[in-house]
Every structure is written in structure tokens, then in C-alpha cells.
Amino acid sequence: MNPSHPSSEARGAPWLAAFHAGERATLEGCYREHVGAVLAAATRVLPTVDAETVTHDVFLRLLTDDGMRATFKGGNLGGWLSVVAQRAAIDLFRRRRKEVDLEEAGARLDEASIATPARDAEGAEASQLVERFVSSVLPEKYRTLFELRFIQQFSQRDAAAKLAMQRSTLAYQEQVIRRMLEDFLLGDEP
């Protein structure tokens, strides 16, 4: 513990009132002091990429949800935040498990995979369009991400893990690619 940042229990009622009110400086101090513990709690349940997402979600809720802050009555803030993070991580783990089950069932029922001459022609035209976009517009640094997310349809989580980048960085780069692709398809690019 940093002596210039006493623990929440040592700060008393004024600190707790500022916390409940959502005062920026107080919440910023909470983030700086406890982000490591929150990430560690989430990492016990999830891979690092997903644990980072849970950590961001916990602190976003802390910033925006008055009701969430009101449930903290004082005491060990780091412990409380760790429990919140661990529960959120467990919820995400359960949702992901259900998503995988649904994806497997959907793959077995996917009628779109049945080939027809019209679909074959559309597919060839789409492939040529994608090749033109990649070769004439898309910078080299975005090509692997484009391949993983747009062509192979990896989830953000899996693509971030494969590229060894934070999910937030991947999401930003994906938005850049989407804008370039939109401009290309609408004719704003050569």
C-alpha cells in the first residue's frame, strides 16, 4: 500500500461519500490502486484477453453505475472489487460455454453451405472484390487482422490471442479497417 494513498477503510466517511458520488479523482485512485488485483481475480477464471475485458467492464460499471457503487458500504475495497471481478468472469465463462454449444449446433444446421451455381458466381465475385481491397487499399500492417476477423471470422477474443495484442487495440484496428472497407465499397477509394 502506498502511504500517500491510504486504504479505503482508513479514509473514512468523506472518502466513502466521494466514492458513492462517483467523484472522478476518487474513482481514478480506486482504479490505480486496485486494477492489478481486479485483473488477477479475473485471470483466475479466464484467459488474460478475456480477463482484461472483465477488468475494463468492472471499472466502467464503477464509473457509470451509481447502484453498483452504493453496494459498497466500506471496508476492503480491493477485496470487494476482486469479488465483483471474479463473479463477472464466471458469468462470462458460462456465456462463452453456451455460445460454443450454440455455434456447434448452428454449424450442423447451416444450409447456406449448400453450393449452387448462383452462389458459386457470387462467391467468386466477392473473392475478387476482397482481393482488390487487400491489394490496393489495405495497408500491410492490417492484413493479418483482416484475414483473421473478416475472412476466417475469428472472434475478437481468439484473434487478439493469436496476434498477441490487447483486445481493445484489436477493436480499434478493426474499426479502421471497417472504415477503409466501407469507403472502398462505396467508391470513395480507387
In the structure grid, which three cell numbers stand for residue 11, read together? Answer: 479514509
Report yes or no on 176 lying in a domain. yes
Report yes or no on 79 lying in a domain. yes
Q: Is the pTM of this model over 0.85?
A: no
Report yes or no on 2 lying in a domain. no
Query: Contact at 8 Å (CB) between 155 and 169?
Result: no
In the structure grid, which three cell numbers stand for residue 96, read together? Answer: 462463452
Look at residue 104 in the predicted model and tell me its pLDDT: 62
User: Domain count of the chain?
Assistant: 2
181: domain CATH number is: 1.10.10
Report yes or no on 1 lying in a domain. no
Domain boundary among 105, 135, 167: 105
24: domain CATH number is: 1.10.1740.10
Domain holding 65, by residue range, is: 8-105
Look at residue 59 in the predicted model and tell me its pLDDT: 95
Look at residue 189 in the predicted model and tell me its pLDDT: 47
Look at residue 130 in the predicted model and tell me its pLDDT: 86
**How far apart, in Å, are the Cα atoms of 76 and each of 3, 10, 91, 143?**
16, 10, 23, 46
Mind listing the pLDDT tens digit of every residue in the chain (190 residues)? 444 455 555 578 999 999 999 999 999 999 999 999 999 999 999 988 889 999 999 999 999 999 999 999 988 999 999 999 999 999 988 887 776 665 665 555 555 555 556 656 676 777 888 889 999 999 999 999 999 988 888 898 999 999 999 988 988 899 999 889 888 888 754 4
List, in sequence order, every beta strand (DSSP E) within 35-147.
Answer: none
Report yes or no on 36 lying in a domain. yes
Report yes or no on 190 lying in a domain. no
Query: Contact at 8 Å (CB) between 59 and 38?
Result: yes
User: Same domain, yes or no, for 61 and 119?
Assistant: no
User: Same domain, yes or no, for 90 and 20?
Assistant: yes
Report yes or no on 3 lying in a domain. no
Look at residue 17 in the predicted model and tell me its pLDDT: 95
CA atoms within 13 A on the CB side of 58: 31
User: Same domain, yes or no, for 120 and 147?
Assistant: yes
Look at residue 76 in the predicted model and tell me its pLDDT: 92
Look at residue 95 in the predicted model and tell me its pLDDT: 82
Q: Catalogue the long-range contacts made by 167-175 (C-beta closer than 8 Å, 24 or more residues apart).
A: 167/49, 167/52, 167/53, 168/52, 168/56, 170/145, 173/142, 173/145, 174/145, 174/149
User: Same domain, yes or no, for 56 and 136?
Assistant: no
**How far apart, in Å, are the Cα atoms of 82 and each of 3, 27, 78, 93, 141?**
22, 15, 6, 16, 37
Closest alpha carbon to 49 in 166, 171, 153: 166
Report yes or no on 110 lying in a domain. no
Domain boundary among 58, 85, 105: 105
User: Same domain, yes or no, for 69 and 96?
Assistant: yes
Enumerate residues 6+ apart whose C-beta is below 8 A from 39: 51, 52, 55, 85
